[in-house]
Amino acid sequence: MEFPFNINHLFSERISVLDEVLVAGRKSVGRPDHQANIATVIDELGKASAKAQQLPASITSASKMQSQKHQLYLLKDGERNGGRGVLVGFLKVGYKKLFLLDQQGVHIEAEPLCVLDFYIAESLQRHGYGLELFDFMLQHKNLEPVMMAYDRPSPKFQSFLSKHYCLTQSVPQVNNFVVFEGFFLNRAGSP
């Protein structure tokens, strides 16, 4: 996704991690123009993701990021667009208190890290960028994908989880979150 400003001025790293402060590294501190452009990037990516998932409204925007304790991983390709860079996609995660059913149908209260939104620009899908972003997040959080919960995963995302992480057997829930076999197993004995 291209923007009318230089992406490399906003994001120095290939993958940037943003929280509610919406600052990507020291470059943007005290730069309201950079902050406004970062907000534009998040809003446009959020709209594109909602469209791709046929959602009635964006679930990711700069204002939502500022009011929720989520983390956004943004992947850029700094070489494209004549060296001005493009945004390849994003992954949004956050902790949620959930009431889940284990394999025996017993209610369990848990607060796992959840995948809340995930989007790679249409023309760049199926090139391994999603995997690069997801693997970065797993390392950053020091987490196995089976320990996470997934908010209404789309068919493409389900295929992604199956292909890259062998996550195929989900445990039926009464809410929109999906967890996989192993989620409860690996929690046994954990605090």
Judged by the rule CB under 6 A, the positions of this chain that interact with ligand ACO are: 49, 52-53, 115, 117-120, 125-131, 150-154, 156-157, 159-160, 163
Nearest to 112 by CA among 32, 187, 9, 17: 187
| Among the listed residues 144, 160, 18, the one whose alpha carbon sits nearest the alpha carbon of residue 75 | 18
- Least distance (Å) between residue 20 CB and ligand ACO: 19
Give the residue with the Cβ less far from ligand ACO, 74 or 151: 151
CB 85, min distance to ligand ACO, A = 18
> Is 156:132 a contact under the CB 8 Å cutoff?
no
Residue of minimal Cβ distance to ligand ACO: 130
Residues 79, 122 contacting (CB under 8 angstroms)? no
- Residue 165 CA to residue 155 CA, distance in Å, equals 15
Strands 98-101 and 86-95: unpaired
The smaller minimum CB distance to ligand ACO, of residues 159 and 168, is found at 159
Instruction: Please report how close the Cβ of residue 34 comes to ligand ACO at its closest, in angstroms.
Output: 26
For ligand ACO, the closer CB: 35 or 49: 49
Least separation in angstroms between residue 183's CB and ligand ACO is: 15
User: Biggest alpha carbon distance in the chain?
Assistant: 56
Q: How many CA atoms lie within 13 A of 2 on its CB side?
A: 8
Give the residue with the Cβ less far from ligand ACO, 159 or 186: 159
Cβ-based nearer residue to ligand ACO, 35 or 74: 74
